[in-house]
Structure 1
């Protein structure tokens, strides 16, 4: 890949910021879980020192961190990673599906506020759009390199 792709670069930065925000929940505890809208049940478990909130949040941190690295790779800032084209398509799709499906997800997490759903869904739509746009722009280069 010859040039830097600003959409994938931005997507990588946003994914890294999201990973750091989730890491902050683990480090700073219950107040962060509540502020970011994780739900009262998660906040109470974190307050009680239960392992579950940190475990779930750690998985999210790792996934978002990995997605950030794939965004950097797709942007041309680091060397191409394995299955780059497939990974960027999946990442784009997951963010976009999460952004659009919040109405269907709301009943499964009734403790989360409407504000949480609107803000987090908007963020997911923006990040997903950046991944999708950057992937679309890079598609000819990905095809030539068989990634």
Structure 2
């Protein structure tokens, strides 16, 4: 497979993979890392108490992001083709774009988040969605 076929989906795959690693780093780093990435205070306190729920949710998010990275890398031609590739990439792109447009904490149903965190995270996720969208559009015929 050619590595240069779809650099946009390659970048999207790398970004999703890095996001998964950041989530796993939060587990390893404990409450300080959760706090640093903007987790709500109740999540930070739960981690400090040793609750398993935040870790389980974080692992699930990291697993989902890893799967999304694999689909983007498959679309880029870096790894073998995956089932329902077009449909999956459409869904992943839509989720990233929709989440990116939710830049206010109340839009996320999370008034406990700071406005700064909501804006930064929305900007990052929106950029990831746009990268996926360009990659999906440019690589459509090869997918």
Q: TM-score range by the shorter chain?
A: over 0.9
TM-aligned CA distance change 1:136 to 1:29, over 3 Å: same
Q: Comparing 97-106 with 7-16, which one deviates more in the overlay?
A: 97-106
Q: Indicate the residue corresponding to 1:109 in structure 2.
A: 110
Q: Report how far residue 114 of structure 1 moved.
A: 1.1
**TM-score, normalization by structure 2:** 0.93
1:132 aligns with 2:133: yes
Alpha-carbon distance in 2 for matches of 1:124, 1:73:
20
SS in structure 1 opposite 2:83? coil
TM-aligned CA distance change 1:93 to 1:39, over 3 Å: same
Cα RMSD for the two superposed structures: 1.5
- 1:1-147 aligned at under 5 Å gives the runs 3-103=4-104, 105-106=106-107, 108-142=109-143
What are the ranges of 5 or more consecutive residues in structure 2 without an aligned counterpart?
none
**TM-score, normalization by structure 1:** 0.91
Write out per-residue CA displacement over residues 42-96 of structure 1, whole angstroms, 9 at most, x where no aligned residue: 0000000001110111110000000001110000111110000000000000000
Alpha-carbon distance in 1 for matches of 2:87, 2:59:
24
Query: Could you tell me whether the CA contact under 8 Å between 1:5 and 1:75 is conserved in 2?
Result: yes
Q: Report how far residue 4 of structure 1 moved.
A: 2.0
Tell me how many residue pairs correspond in the alignment. Answer: 142
Q: Report how far residue 111 of structure 1 moved.
A: 2.0
Alpha-carbon distance in 1 for matches of 2:73, 2:133:
14
TM-aligned CA distance change 1:104 to 1:29, over 3 Å: closer
Is the helix fraction higher in 1 or 2? Answer: 1
Q: Report how far residue 110 of structure 1 moved.
A: 2.0
What are the ranges of 5 or more consecutive residues in structure 1 without an aligned counterpart?
143-147
